[in-house]
A and B are shown apart, each in its own frame.
Chain A
Amino acid sequence: MRKSWIPVVILWLAYSVLIIWATAQFTWFPKEWAEEAAVVDEAMLLLQYLSAPVMGLVLAVMTWSVIGWRTEGGAHREDGPPQRTNRVVVTSWLVITSALAIYVVINPGFIGLAEIRGEPSSDYVIELQAQQFFWEVTYPNGATALDELVIPSEARVRYDILSIDVLHSFWIPAFRIKIDAIPGITTTAFATAEADGTFEDDVNLRVQCAELCGAGHANMAMPIRVVSDAEWNEYIETLADNE
């Protein structure tokens, strides 16, 4: 009984390694179509690895509780050792968990925040206006579209998001960016698309409303097409000419 830390530590290591191994085996995230997506995915993967020892410790104590510390024989059997507390354990627990929390705040917290929200410059500005239950795109040359969002690849685009009725949210899962559309306020999001592709290639290449906005919320999505810079300029010119 006195040596119960040995099996618990072994179990802890085993569970942690198992969770880390399992984490490394799978692709957890959808395909990354923008530079920003890589930042988010790296942050998530780091957090997954950091959670392994935490989950592992709880699982280890739970497992050894069932295997090593279970007793039968009803309520009137002997009590356990009267360990009230242990200053060293409590103090080191506090220090370790605080250090972990501080580390997570810095990385991926502030580092990720800086990478995602830090750089306000952009090559193009595309405006999206939300209303129940569709998006209206306005390109830099004033051309507008309702059926799809066409984006130049390899260019940093600023999205100006507006709403004319209730709250909506502008989300492109393939880019991992999201910002709410608020009536009366213009919000912004930035993304640099990396490769050409369409909604048919990946269901996550869509603008999805992510804030409950009423009856048509579920289907308030618009397909995205990422094309080369030249093709994009040609597309918006044609669009403007047709208006």
Chain B
Amino acid sequence: MKYVIRASVLAFAGYVAGIWLTVAVRGGSPTDEVAVVIGYILALTGWLAGIGGIEAFGRQWIGKSSEVSTDRGWRRYFEFSVDHKVIGIQYGVTLIGVLLIGGISAMIMRIELAAPGSGFVDLDDFNKIVSMHGILMVAVAVAGIIGAFGNYIIPIQIGAQDMAFPRLNAIGYWLIPPVAVALLLSPLLGAFNAGWTSYAPLSVTNESGQILFNMAIVTFGMSSILGGINVITTVITMRAPGMTWGRLPIFTWAGLATSVLSFAVTQFFAAAVILVTMDRVAGTSFFQPEVGSALLYEHIFWFYSHPAVYIMVLPGFGVILEIVTTFARKPLFAYKAVVASIFTIVGLSVVVWAHHMFTSGMANFLHGPFMILTEAISIPTGVIFLGILGTLWQGRLWFRTPLVIAFGWLFNFTIGGITGIFLADVATDIHLHDTYFVVAHFHYTIVGGSIFALLAASFYWFPKITGRMYNETAGKIFGIWVTVAFNFTFIPLFWAGMNGMNRRIGDYPDAFAGANKFASVSALILGASFLLYIGNLVYSAIWGPKVGPNPWNARTLEWLIPSPPPQHNFTSQPVVIGHPYAYGVKGSVHAHFPDAESPDDPGDGRGSDEEGVLV
């Protein structure tokens, strides 16, 4: 804890110093936005120095050797640990915390919307809560799976001892708490009411909380980019002997594709909010209509934010494919086509952004091409669905909690995908754009596609990470509860949107009262399900029954080592000799440990490149 305390003190000192310095140089008030910007930059510097940056990097700059945390107890979770497993857990716990805060904001919104009129919160506060909910949940969806399980699982799945850049990895995580603090403290400066999309010119003229939002986005973006570089390098350079591209587990493929995207496009969101910040504090006029363009922001913003939905959902595909193949006891159907589809989506995702702008007034001739490209994404997505359905086909399905939630995912994401077609078609989108139909659609894709996968992953890898088993009955009840309550919450909102209810409003015409009341009650039931989720995982992590290395009898490398894994993952070098998903192929083994001395080493057998049969 001492590092966290030191970091907090240095961050506070940095903030005060930045404010003081700015006021001393240019005068003005300590709440002026330029002072806040300087203060934030110094606070962030102080935070990183305090948390362990001095020991990890600073000492080297004066010729001494670097030191990083080597604690093995609970303290390591509050220190600058470079162990990818510690960092994975740090991400997971932090982002589940953010998910709960975002969930509480959703409950406040649904209580306000339970009946027409404005009473529980006023209209402007409602917009601020909408904005806060949006950005917190986007952060969870962007970094949840890849931050927690990408960090924890990917190095083990490829047979590496750690990530390629362990210290960079730690920096990436420790950038996240300042993001949360900046966003949650923004109400002190009036909060931000322009939505998580923060369209200019509104975001240039609203209250100063917007500055903290902008700083948080830049910080979060740095974290994403550093994480992206790290995963790309790790997967390319640190695979165990025999881990050819054709034998790479599907979750690792998905994590690699995600990282390529977050590495390539995150800077566009940062650029957009930096331009907004410059308009606010430096007197530039990027988004002022007379000399700049009010439409420009949308283009830059969506150039990141559409690919971002694939940054959210691709790791979800990876998790669900991993779970389906394990619990169906069958090879991953059409593995190569699925991998090709994942990368086709990566390519297409950067050329479809303007489908968010069909009603924006952009040039008419742009509508056709963006409609074609957007609809084209349904083809590779369909192949990934074929992979899931084909794997289920004639499988020996073992319905444990991860598979139950994966079925919820399958149902939700199918609805999310189908309703996406309505929004990709210009004719229908003109009516549906910015209505509750869109709200329902993106909750089906992002909650249905990313958060449900995060939940499924947290059960699937729980025994590996904790060495203990969660409570199966409570897990299944949660899986069914969360799926049903989720659908009851959002199905009525499709109707509301089609019938004339626009989004981001704290008040609405009486005609939509019924649908909203139903959605609000369902939302509260949905929120309550998370008490069972948290209770189950926390209780089981401490008192759950101990499990062996491989409770699911799965084949990928993380299941061939003890639960929880030893400090450097592998006590002897793994050698990959076969396909990861050759379930049902006699004598087939994914990997073994030729140097291992232990006679009961789990992975020992014939190698075979056979990955199943053509049917």
**Chain B residues near A216 (CB, 8 Å)?**
123
B582, CB-defined interface residue at 8 Å = yes
Chain A CB within 8 A of B385 CB: yes
Q: A101-B379, A179-B359 known; A217 and B393 CB under 8 Å?
A: no
A210 to chain B, nearest CB (A): 4
Cross-chain contact B582 with A82 (CB below 8 angstroms): yes
The CA-CA distance from A115 to B498 in the complex, in Å, is: 20
Q: Which residues of chain A have C-beta atoms less than 8 A from B378's C-beta?
A: 97, 101
Is the Cβ of B434 less than 8 Å from the Cβ of A113? no
Query: Using Cβ atoms and an 8 Å threshold, which residues of chain B touch A80?
Result: 328-330, 394-396, 583-584
**Known contacts A58-B410, A212-B504, A215-B127; A104 and B386 CB within 8 A of each other:** no
Asked if A150 lies at the interface with its beta carbon under 8 angstroms from chain B, I say: no
Identity of the chain B residue whose Cβ is nearest the Cβ of A70 in the assembled complex: B397
Question: Once the chains bind, are B360 and A113 in contact (CB under 8 Å)?
Answer: no
Interface residues of B in 117-149 (CB under 8 A from A): 118, 123-124, 126-127
Report, nearest first, the 4 A-B pairs whose CB atoms are least far apart: A112-B427, A184-B289, A84-B612, A173-B500
B295, CB-defined interface residue at 8 Å? yes
Is B335 part of the contact surface with A, judged by Cβ < 8 Å? yes
Output the residue of A28, A101, A111, A212 with the most chain B CB within 10 A: A212
Selected from A55, A81, A116, the residue in CB contact (under 8 A) with B418 is A55
If A51-B421, A104-B425 touch, does A87 touch B329 (CB 8 Å cutoff)?
no
Shortest A234–chain B CB gap in Å is 30
**Assuming the A-B contacts A71-B396, A109-B371, A182-B361, are A94 and B428 also in contact, with contact meaning beta carbons closer than 8 angstroms in the complex?**
no
Q: Are A116 and B430 in contact (CB under 8 A)?
A: yes
B477 within 8 Å of A by Cβ?
Answer: no
- Please determine whether A83 and B407 come into contact, CB atoms closer than 8 angstroms: no
- The segment from A37-45, A122-130, A137-145, A151-159 that touches chain B is A37-45
Nearest opposing residue in chain B for A176, CB measure: B431
Q: Provide the residues of chain B in CB contact with A97, threshold 8 Å.
A: 378-379, 382-383
Contact of A177 among B361, B428, B430, B510 (CB under 8 A): B430
**Is A218 in contact with B411, judged by CB distance below 8 angstroms?**
no
CA distance A98 to B386 in the complex (A): 13
Q: Which residues of B contact A29 (CB under 8 A)?
A: 498-499
B396: A residues at CB distance < 8 A: 69, 71, 77-80
Q: Shortest distance in angstroms between A92's beta carbon and chain B's nearest beta carbon?
A: 10
Contact indicator per residue, chain A 164-193, by CB within 8 Å of chain B (1) or not (0): 011101010110111110111101000000
The total number of A-B Cβ pairs within 8 Å is: 290
- Chain A binder among B90-98, B200-208, B217-225: B200-208
Complex interface: chain B residues within 8 A of A82 (CB):
330-331, 582-585, 612-613
Please pick, from B359, B379, B394, the residue contacting A98 in the complex, using a CB distance under 8 A.
B379
Contact A203 B329, CB 8 Å, known A76-B553, A97-B379, A169-B434: no
Task: Report the separation of the CA atoms of residues A240 and B310 in the bound assembly, to the nearest whole angstrom.
Answer: 54
Please tell me if the beta carbons of B583 and A212 are within 8 angstroms of each other in the complex.
no
A-B pairs with beta carbons under 8 Å apart, 9 shown? A77-B396, A79-B396, A81-B330, A98-B379, A166-B294, A173-B431, A184-B293, A208-B502, A214-B124
Report the separation of the CA atoms of residues A97 and B195 in the bound assembly, to the nearest whole angstrom. 35
Enumerate chain A interface residues (CB-CB to B < 8 A). 1, 4, 28-30, 39-40, 43-44, 47, 51, 54-55, 57-59, 61-62, 65-66, 69-72, 74-87, 89-90, 93-94, 97-98, 101, 104-105, 108-113, 115-117, 161, 165-167, 169, 171, 173-174, 176-180, 182-185, 187, 203-204, 208-219
Smallest beta-carbon distance B282→chain A, Å: 20
Q: B500 touching A203 by the CB < 8 A rule?
A: yes
How far does the Cβ of B380 sit from chain A's closest Cβ, in whole Å? 9
In the bound complex, CA of A129 to CA of B329 (Å): 62
Residue in contact with B335 in the complex, picked from A1, A61, A85, CB distance below 8 Å: A85
Closest chain A residue to B385, Cβ basis: A58
Contact check: which of B328, B418, B495 meets A51 at CB < 8 Å? B418
Do A214 and B376 have beta carbons less than 8 Å apart?
A: no
In the bound complex, residues from chain B placing their C-beta under 8 Å from that of A75 are 398, 550-553
Hey, which chain A residues are within 8 Å of B551, CB to CB?
Answer: 75
Partner of A93, one of B329, B383, B395, B398: B383
Taking A78-B329, A86-B614, A178-B359 as known contacts, 19 extra A-B pairs with beta carbons closer than 8 A to each other, sorted by chain A number, are A39-B427, A47-B421, A62-B392, A66-B399, A69-B392, A75-B552, A79-B329, A80-B583, A81-B394, A82-B612, A84-B613, A87-B614, A98-B379, A117-B367, A182-B361, A204-B499, A212-B197, A214-B127, A219-B507
Chain B residues lying within 8 Å of A204, measured Cβ to Cβ, are 499-500
Question: Using Cβ atoms and an 8 Å threshold, which residues of chain A touch B371?
Answer: 105, 109-110, 113
Of the candidates B290, B368, B428, B584, the one having the most CB atoms from chain A within 10 angstroms of its own CB is B428
Nearest CB of B to A171, in Å:
7
Query: Smallest Cβ distance from B368 to chain A, in angstroms?
Result: 7
CB neighbours (8 Å) of A61 from chain B are: 389, 392-393
When the two chains form their complex, are residues A214 and B553 in contact, meaning their CB atoms are under 8 A apart? no
Q: Which residues of B contact A111 (CB under 8 A)?
A: 427
A108-B425 in contact (CB<8A): yes
Say if the beta carbon of B599 comes within 8 Å of chain A.
no
Task: Tell me the bound Cα distance from A209 to B372 in angstroms.
Answer: 28
Which residues of A sit under 8 angstroms from B410, Cβ to Cβ? 58, 62
Q: Report B430 CB to chain A, min CB distance, Å.
A: 5
Residue of A nearest to B427 (CB): A112
B395 & A169 in contact (Cβ 8 Å cutoff): no
Known contacts A51-B421, A86-B615, A166-B202; decide if A182 and B295 are in contact (CB<8 Å).
yes
Bound: A232/B392 CA distance, A: 63
Q: Is the CB of B612 within 8 A of A83?
A: yes
Determine how close the nearest CB of chain B comes to the CB of A112; give it in whole angstroms. Answer: 3
Task: Please tell me which one of the listed residues B206, B330, B507 contacts residue A79 in the complex, with CB atoms under 8 A apart.
Answer: B330
